[in-house]
């Protein structure tokens, strides 16, 4: 598993100030059915594209400040960040090819 748990404590290091690979952020919650269905897709992408993308998981219940900062209103929500700048977002359950297209891979 190549996913990183993102918290407010490691956000700057892992996302905001990270230069290089695109960062795929998965905003999710344990109680969210669509999140549990998207989770394995995100995990596959983290494994298959290791070295081409960094994948971070943000539990909105554990990290409400990060959810608020990204204006998360509905989950699952995917955000692609490159060099500290949001590139694109996607809300809801999406197929694997859609998630890969968000990354431009």
Q: Write out the catalytic residue numbers.
A: 32, 35
Cα 77 to Cα 93: distance, rounded to the nearest angstrom: 8
Phi, psi values for residue 39, rounded to 5°: -50, -50
Q: Which of 69, 73, 76, 71 is nearest to 24 (CA)?
A: 76
Token readout for 29 is 């919650």
């Amino acid at each position: 598993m190549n996913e990183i748990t993102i918290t407010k404590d490691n956000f700057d290091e892992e996302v905001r100030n990270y230069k290089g690979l695109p960062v795929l952020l998965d905003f999710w919650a344990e109680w969210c059915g669509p999140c549990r269905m998207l989770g394995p897709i995100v995990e596959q992408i983290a494994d298959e594209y290791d070295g081409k993308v960094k994948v971070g998981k943000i539990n909105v219940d554990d990290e409400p400040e990060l959810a608020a900062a990204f204006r998360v209103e509905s989950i699952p929500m995917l955000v692609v960040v490159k060099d500290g700048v949001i590139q694109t977002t996607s809300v809801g359950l999406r197929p694997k090819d859609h998630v890969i297209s968000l990354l431009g891979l």
